[in-house]
Amino acid sequence: MNYEILPPRTEGRVRFSDGETWYRITGDLESGVTPLVVAHGGPGATHLYLLSLTAFADPDGPARPVIHYDQLGCGNSTHLPDADPSYWNVDLFLDELDNLLDHLGIADSYHLLGQSWGGMLASEHAVRRSAGLKRLVISNSPASMPLWLEAAAALRAELPAEVEETLRKHEEAETTDSPEYAAAMKVFYDRHVCRVVPNPPEVAAAFASIEENPTVYHTMNGPSEFHVIGSMKDWSIVDRPRRSPYRRW
């Protein structure tokens, strides 16, 4: 499918925590159409691979304003490689999203789309029941990291034996920064993460951004999509909606 990435109407930065959050707006926030806010994955993958969603702002189509932003610690936002690992947590990114909504003046009415980790963030945002959240789209996101790891283990079991052996060898030795591990990891990624090979430029750019600055990804996730040993390894939202004091359904 061919698509055109539309240019932004404006770009900006908003002060947050120990740095700044960068954002871009495609379309007109003053149009009266409820805007779509896009939360990227990773954490730390940047907005680049989700720019096809600018199509929603096409004046010949739905003409919905689309807001992309880079979460703190990656992309065009402030990088903080020396921050204490405890700094990188879900609440930080929830507060960052709220800060961006307030800055743009859309906190009372917006749609939210989260992809992968962005969907986990979006679900956390949703259970807090922000009054301005009109619609929520969760794309390719787990509701439970333990359940995701269980599924990933099943997919790993289908890899060629030598690939799985390479992965396990380096994980046990804590040498996941090895080129050999990266090559074996790509076998899994080509099968189950992005099946378009070679990866589209925007997807390759997202992976490159994590490789260039893996601080947030390694701290919260781990070295790969299937070897999750970071602070999010026990995360789950499965039982949260029914227990949430903000529940309205």
Mean pLDDT of 224-235: 95
- The reply to whether CATH 3.40.50.1820 applies to domain 10-143 is yes
pLDDT one-digit tens code per residue, 156-203: 999 999 999 999 999 999 999 999 999 999 999 999 999 999 999 999
Pinpoint the residues of the chain covered by CATH 3.40.50.1820: 10-143
Q: Which long-range contacts (CB under 8 A, 24 or more apart) does 203-206 make?
A: 203/49, 205/46, 205/48, 205/49, 206/40, 206/41, 206/42, 206/45, 206/46, 206/48, 206/49
Q: Quick one: pLDDT at residue 1?
A: 40
Residue 34 burial (C-beta neighbours within 10 Å; 0-12, 13-18, 19+)? middle
Is 138 a residue whose pLDDT tops 90? Answer: yes
State how far the Cα of 47 lies from the Cα of 41, in Å rounded to an integer.
8
How far CA 117 is from CA of 39, 44, 93, 131, 220, in Å, comes to 8, 9, 11, 23, 10
Following DSSP, what letter does each residue of 99-161 receive, concatenated?
A: HHHHHHT-TTSEEEEEETHHHHHHHHHHHTT-TTEEEEEEES--SBHHHHHHHHHHHHTTS-H
